[in-house]
Structure 1
Amino acid sequence: MVVEGTLTLARSAVRLSTGSGSSDPYCIVKVDNEVVARTATVWKNLNPFWGEEYTLHLPLGFHSLTFYVLDEDTIGHDDVIGKISLSKEQISSHPRGIDSWINLTRVDPNEEVQGEIRLELWVLEEPHRRVLHCHVIEARDLAPRDISGTSDPFARVSCNGQTLETAIIKKTRFPHWDEVLEFDLEERELEKETRGPLLSMEVWDWDMVGKNDFLGQVEFSLDTLQKSPVKGWFRLLPFPSAEEDAGGKLGALRLKVQLAEDRILPSMYYQPLIELLVESILCPAEEHVTPLAILEEIGSVESRQDVAMKLVKIFLGQGLAVPFLDYLNLREVTRTSDPNTLFRSNSLASKSMEQFMKVVGMPYLNEVLKPIINRIFEEKKYVELDPCKIEMNRTRRISFKGSLSEAQIRESSLELLKGYLSDIMESIIGSVEKCPPIMRVAFKQLHKRVEDQFPEAEHEDMKYIAISGFLFLRFFAPAILTPKLFNLRDQHADPRTSRTLLLLAKAVQSIGNLGLQLGHGKEQWMAPLHPFIIPCVSHVKDFLDKLIDVDTGEAQPRMLFHPSATIKEGYLHKRKAEGLHLVTRFTFKKRYFWLSSETLSYSKSPEWQVRSSIPIQRICAVERVDENAFQQPHMMQIITQDAEGQLHTMYIQCKNVNELNQWLSAIRKASIYNERMLPSCHPGAFRGSRWTCCLQADRTVHGCSRTHSAVTLGDWSDPLDPDAEAQMVYGQLLLARDKLRYHERSFQDCRMAATARLLDVIQDLERAHSAFERREKEEAATESY
């Protein structure tokens, strides 16, 4: 049984207040002390809009989610504008999620604590006295306070007016003290009524010059300690802060955050639900009253996108994605009387087609659009057709011969747009063989359904518009408009490039609409592009005819990706840990990496025939590396175990924090079911006869930091997980149970029978969850004795 926490962040925007009057803001998202995401930088803007959405798979024991807003500085360190910290309890208290503006708070170094401390505390009765023994063993993952990326920590223990300190351990975030501090306890102190914590354990960073820096604290009730000893790891906490926020003086961040904690049951418990959904498409005797149809009727509009994604993955896992989409599309088409409104609403059919394209078509999208998008970003040409938005002062950047007239600017812009559009359309039209076969089969079925429903000559184009409405309007055009959100770029476009992309997206939309709306909109200044768009329409129809010319008799694969298919690839810099002495940047070799569900392989270049490979099942940890280990940022380590049980480490450097997070996440997900995953590792390197993190001289000593294999980013390449997907569908049905009961009372025959079967499945799953919950409580109670 697995319990999984998933968090989704979306629609991020911010109103900032800075003294300079300008800012280049971006956001960092942290789960406890682990950086999980970094948004793009929005240049020169105090009201940036990111619109970035992340799904994070989190460990059950996480404590908080923190958002830092920073101002990027090309010289020196980036300035922190403010932060928002949400505890797990705060997020969990909003079952429907948080969606609001939240004021930024100041970032006080004394509050930026992290890490844990390991302690043993007990009261010992001795002749004529009682003694409190405080065994301060070690700490891990402390906040770095020095320029070197480390700290010089010591512990200070206070008990009833007495204060003792441990030794100072220099240059580490993982100190080992192993000291026992003793406190004499007077009888009257123990007899006092407990009035809050009486023992305080603080960790400080020692500074030779200036004040010591606070690293965190943990407090205990002396009354509790005398009843039973305390032993284990304890999370370090900040000093209590009196200031809730800065009253909006620093600005505000708009967040949409939702936490879903689900108990994932063994597969056998979800089989009846999956069989019921599959039956809806394989045996739809009364197609309008199937369980799947009822699921659409009772679901909320807000949850429809999530439900669509889960259903797409469930049916992909069953090898029935095309019949599933065909079933929904047929229902949509037969319910539509006016062909001009076909798939215009956010129905389950339209959402499922949209999510299906993202799940199976993202590699195809990247192959078709990425080279052209990259060129547009690199060229940064000034393009504008709207006379109201032409900025004459930009003309000097266009021509060194002097200022251009408005007409000349529009003519220059028109030629640039036609050039870009020509390349985009040529790439799309020539991509028939690159399109995944399963997408082509789905489009072929859609084409047939629309043609059968609207056979009239005046509706001849509808069978094309139905496909192009998804492929062009909901796939290609949005990716051109915001390439960052489709993994085509690491950063958002600057204002000039963004305007070019907007104009291109508008043109691609017009082409996807087969030119039917040309001349009817308010943007008549787009008219100069019409002579280019109109000829493209016939090319698009030819492209769609070729796209659906595919054999539908082939069995659909049960797996989304073949085991040997590449999940992620790209250039990285690597070095092995063996022989690690003086480390320079030249010891890192540039290599091209491929990740599949079976191997992580690399070679000198994509064309190089000789590859080195690491079997995925031998990976036992994938973790970040402290910057001070190599004086290099954005580094990770891959720890493997050979047949003899020996551990080997490969260090890899990425070009930025986003690439680092993506590779960490991808390799963790590929190796998540490995049997020998390590619970701890060293975030430093063994150099100069000791570990740079914990300063231990034994190279084989157990790791000093916890591993984070449970923290991953969700994306289109996630492996299929039918149990987790079925659990989410069950959760939606459970929320809508009252609606189901109303359906059961209000209708007769087939509808009532289908609803009753859904209610039976919900009841059985609810009982199974209750049984597992009782078992967990019984096991926890047994372990406590």
Structure 2
Amino acid sequence: MRCWSFGRHPVARLHCGWSSGIGTWWARTTSWVEFPPQLLQQKPPDGWFRLQPFPRAEEDSGGNLGALRLKVRLTEDRVLPSQYYQPLTELLVGSVLQPVEDDAASPLALLEELTSGDCRQDLATKLVKLFLGRGLAGPFLDYLTRREVARTTDPNTLFRSNSLASKSMEQFMKLVGMRYLHEVLKPTVSRVFEEKKYMELDPCKMDLGRARRISFKGTPSEEQVRETSLGLLMGYLGPIVDAILGSVGRCPPAMRLAFRRLRQRVEERFPQAEQQDLKYLAISGFLFLRFFAPAILTPKLFDLRDQHADPQTSRSLLLLAKAVQSIGNLGQQLGQGKELWMAPLHPFLLQSVARVRDFLDQLVDVHGGDETGGPATALVPPSATMREGYLLKRKEQPAGLATRFAFKKRYFWLSGETFSYAKTPEWQTRTSIPVSHICAVERVDEGAFQLPHVMQVVTQDGAGALHTTYLQCKNVNDLNQWLSALRKASAPNPDKLASCHPGAFRSARWTCCLQAQRSAAGCSRTHSAVTLGDWSDPLDPDAETQMVYRQLLLGRDQLRLKLLEDLSVDTPPEADTGQGSGATEGVCSDALTRQREATTRLLEVLADLEQAHEEFRHQEQGTVAPRPLVP
């Protein structure tokens, strides 16, 4: 879980689908581990903790609950008003707009040096969102690409590491290209899940008994299983490759422009004739190896499916992902002693390589300026369907009506503009709720209707009256996903409720707080920014810059040490040197001066932000913040 406090009110962002009580983390109401609030405030716990069952759950299971290992990270932060982040944002933006010769001396270069591998992906996501919101994602990626290509000596390692450049391009593709990926892969991936065909090429993993039950009469041989599996795999792999290689027109222009700049940088750095494949490998390494192949392997992580695959489907997806990865590698590693059982696919894979080169040539054949910035919800077009499926619906009704049977099954669609429903997906008449009218989306206590997995959507009509619709989901995962999607869609709405009732008004009182007035103020804080934290979260420049600030703050001692080292470097006295050495020393001195100035300015901005945080903290506590001493 990540908790954030936005100056005016605290906000939490949920990852991993677990809910939170005060000082307690709960696991689907059957197990728990408890931390004293003082411990969470002083020093976050780090280690393995036993998940204790509730007594009732232990009795029901006979005391044998098994074991569960859970890795949870809690981060709490305060996000200040926008004007406080303006100096830091200007420094970061200036880094990508400055002349190429100043790349190594920019604040962004200093940030890259301070970033460890553990937090590099989070930082890359925040930076891409920050620059994407300002219409500068292209120049930002180009800046990182220039630095990465310039320091690469072995072409075989180009973009193979988890550098900030690689992670940023990877996150950029997810942010702007997810709809494109769904259009290309979803039809075939859905077929694999629905048909559940047995496929296996590796003799060490073949289950002849399973193959007989599914596809043969009698006991099949390994050769028969291999031939059948090859035919099935080709039946899926062919459509996937055709869809990818025929998708030039559907690829987002921002991605195509980024790939064009990437290709140009690689060609400039490695112009030799024997290195001509590098311009293709650089792009296919991202598009195939870091985008399409991972989505095929784990469709749930890319929203291609709601649930993870069963073991056999996972194996089929793995075989398909391996094949797509080989195509993305332009067939360079085929037949080199690794996984020789993939040999039956080699003719098709090699045949596809030439098509991949043509596809990549067409992909980068694009012209136009940099992408422009957009509103906070630009990552998901307003008309696009964000989520759909069956829910049980109950309107706010008089307390005397039956509760359990008042829920009616309806099919719901959610886009950035409307939240609509009908009796079935094919039903012609739909009832629509404008997303702009949503002012709260919250869980409902299980005791309110004696039903689990219920949420409420509170809307406000033109007259200012509030209306509540109760919706029951099929399980906790479905509940979390609907909560997240509805909150993201309604994120720009200005009239959010600060509190609401997590119960229902029944028997002339609220089940949560027992107040007798239906119009009584809510007894529980709302959580408008609590989402699952995936790629489709709305752009939030302040929260993104706050995370960058925290990362810089962790490396502030390194920045100070670097500044002291730079200041201690004296220009060596002139001696008997060759002609031109003075000019070289001048260039080095200029670069060192620029780097020193960038470090000094960055430290000043960090100090100002730290002081602003102190002032807000003391305002909340009702004390006066001490002013920094001026020498």
Task: Answer yes or no: same fold by TM over 0.5.
Answer: yes
Deviations 1:167-199 (CA, angstroms, capped at 9, x unpaired): xxxxxxxxxxxxxxxxxxxxxxxxxxxxxxxxx
> Do 1:65 and 1:87's aligned partners in 2 also have CA atoms closer than 8 Å?
no
Question: Structure 1 or 2: larger helix share?
Answer: 2
Higher Rg = 1
In the TM superposition, 1:231-242 aligns within 5 A as none
Per-residue CA shift, 1:471-492, capped at 9, x if unaligned?
1111111121122222222222
Is the contact between residue 603 and residue 612 of structure 1 (CA under 8 Å) also seen in structure 2? yes
1:591 corresponds, among 411, 416, 423, to: 411
Residue identity matched to 1:480: I
Match of 1:397 among 213, 217, 230: 213
Q: Distance in 1 between matches of 2:350 and 2:442?
A: 53
* Other-structure match for 1:569: 387
Is the Cα–Cα contact under 8 Å of residues 441 and 458 in structure 2 kept in the other structure? yes
Q: Distance in 2 between matches of 1:407 and 1:619?
A: 60
Label 1:382 to 1:638 Cα distance change in 2 as closer, same or farther (>3 A): same
Paired amino acid for 2:415: L
- Amino-acid identity (%): 58
What is residue 80 of structure 2 aligned with on the other side? Answer: 265
**Deviations 1:300-342, CA, capped at 9 Å, x for gaps:** 2212111111111110111100110011011111211221110
For 1:712, what is the secondary structure of its paired residue?
coil
In structure 2, what is the equivalent of residue 547 of structure 1?
Answer: 363
Aligned partner (choices 534, 548, 558) of residue 715 of structure 1: 534
1:650 pairs, out of 448, 456, 469, with: 469
In 2, Cα distance between the equivalents of 1:530 and 1:324?
38
Contact 1:622/1:637 (CA < 8 Å) preserved in 2?
Answer: yes
Residue 501 of structure 2 is aligned to residue 681 of structure 1: yes
Give the distance between the partners of 1:430 and 1:468, measured in 2 at CA. Answer: 15
Q: Which residue of 2 aligns with 1:619?
A: 438
1:239 is aligned to: none
Q: How far off is 1:533 after superposition?
A: 0.8
The 1:754–1:779 alpha-carbon spacing in structure 2 relative to 1, beyond 3 Å, is: closer
SS in 2 for 1:402: coil
Task: Give the SS at the match of 2:306.
Answer: coil
Compared with structure 1, are the counterparts of its residues 5 and 508 closer, same or farther at alpha carbon in structure 2 (3 Å cutoff)? same
Partners of 1:715 and 1:329 in 2: CA distance: 25
Query: What secondary structure, in the 3-state scheme, does the structure 2 residue paired with 1:103 have?
Result: coil
Counterparts of 1:495-644 in structure 2, within 5 Å, are 495-553=311-369, 555-559=371-375, 561-562=377-378, 564-566=382-384, 568-573=386-391, 574-577=393-396, 581-582=401-402, 588=408, 590-596=410-416, 599-602=418-421, 612-626=431-445, 633-644=452-463
SS at match of 2:73: strand
The answer to whether residue 202 in structure 2 is matched with residue 386 in structure 1 is yes
Secondary structure class of the residue paired with 1:648 = strand
Q: Distance in 2 between matches of 1:659 and 1:477?
A: 26
Contact 2:412–2:419 (CA under 8 A) maintained in structure 1:
no
Following TM superposition, by how much is the alpha carbon of 1:661 offset from its aligned partner in structure 2, in angstroms?
1.2
1:493 to 297, 309, 325: 309
Q: 1:434 to 1:414 in 2, by over 3 A?
A: same
Q: Report if aligned partners of 1:571, 1:592 keep a CA contact under 8 Å in 2.
A: yes
CA contact (8 A) 1:515 1:537 kept: yes
Classify 1:329/1:435 alpha carbon distance in 2 versus 1 (closer, same or farther; 3 Å). same
Q: Pick from 415, 430, 437 the counterpart of residue 231 of structure 2.
A: 415
Residue 105 of structure 1, aligned match among 31, 34, 52: 52
Partner residue, 1:762:
606
1:501 offset after TM fit, Å?
Answer: 1.2
Contact 1:5/1:261, CA 8 A, preserved across alignment? no
Amino acid at match of 1:392: L
The alignment partner of 2:69 has SS state of: strand
Q: Does 1:729 align with 2:548?
A: yes
- Following TM superposition, by how much is the alpha carbon of 1:775 offset from its aligned partner in structure 2, in angstroms? 2.4
Q: In the alignment, does 2:103 pair up with 1:287? A: yes
Q: Which residue of the other structure, out of 333, 336, 343, is the alignment partner of 2:159?
A: 343
Aligned to 2:33: 84
Structure 1 residues 520, 582: closer, same or farther in 2, change over 3 A? same
Residue 518 of structure 1, CA deviation: 0.5
- Asked whether the 8 Å contact 1:359–1:716 carries over to 2, the reply is yes
CA contact (8 A) 2:107 2:599 kept: yes
| CA distance in 2: counterparts of 1:310 and 1:325, whole angstroms | 13
Q: Where do residues 368-387 of structure 1 align in structure 2 (5 Å cutoff)? A: 368-387=184-203
Matches within 5 A, 1:13-162: 29-32=18-21, 62-67=22-27, 82-94=31-43, 98=46, 100-109=47-56
Q: What is the TM-score normalised by the length of structure 2?
A: 0.84
Q: 1:449 aligns with which of 260, 265, 268?
A: 265
Q: CA deviation at 1:694?
A: 7.1
- Return the match for 2:294 from 478, 481, 487: 478
2:70 is matched with which residue: 247, 250, 255? 255
Q: Is contact 2:124-2:171 (8 Å) kept? A: yes
Aligned CA distance change for structure 1 residues 363 and 521 (closer, same or farther; 3 Å): farther
1:278 equivalent in structure 2: 93
Distance in 1 between residues matched to 2:222 and 2:463, nearest whole Å:
74
Unaligned runs of 5+ in 1: 11-27, 33-61, 71-79, 113-245
Q: Conserved in 1, the CA contact under 8 Å of 2:394 and 2:406?
A: no
Amino acid at match of 1:281: V
Query: Which AA in structure 2 matches 1:568?
Result: M
Aligned 8 A contact 1:383 1:413 in 2:
yes
Separation of aligned partners in 1, 2:261 and 2:426: 38
CA–CA distance in 2 between the matches of 1:762 and 1:341?
35
1:772 partnered with 2:591: no
Q: CA deviation at 1:395?
A: 2.8
CA distance in 2, matches of 1:66, 1:307: 29
Shift of 1:465: 1.0
Q: 1:544 and 1:622 mapped to 2: Cα distance?
A: 44
The 5 Å alignment of 1:193-272 reads 252-272=67-87
Asked whether the equivalents of residues 200 and 226 of structure 2 are also in contact (C-alpha less than 8 Å), the reply is: yes
CA-based RMSD of the aligned residues comes to 3.3
CA–CA distance in structure 2, aligned partners of residues 739 and 696 of structure 1: 56
CA contact (8 A) 2:95 2:103 kept: yes
SS in structure 1 at match of 2:455: strand
Counterpart check, 1:469 vs 2:285: yes
Distance 2:405 2:247 in 1: 41
Alpha carbons of structure 1 residues 305 and 693: separation in structure 2 relative to 1, 3 Å: closer
Residue segments in structure 2 that go unaligned for 5+ positions in a row: 1-6, 567-591, 626-631
* 8 Å Cα contact 1:310/1:729 also seen in 2: yes
* 1:569-599: CA deviation from partner (whole Å, max 9, x where unpaired): 3134444335783467696252342231x54
Per chain length, whose mean CA-contact separation is higher, i.e. which structure has more relative contact order (CA < 8 Å, sep 6+)? 2
Aligned partners of 1:67 and 1:85 also within 8 Å: no
Looking at structure 1, the residues matched to 277 and 341 of structure 2 have their Cα atoms a distance apart, in angstroms, of: 26
Shift of 1:281: 0.7
TM-score by length of 1: 0.68
Q: Partner of 1:286: helix, strand, or coil? A: helix
Seen in structure 2, the aligned counterparts of structure 1 residues 752 and 608 have a Cα distance that, compared at 3 Å, is: farther
Which residue does 1:666 correspond to in 2?
A: 485
Higher strand share: 1
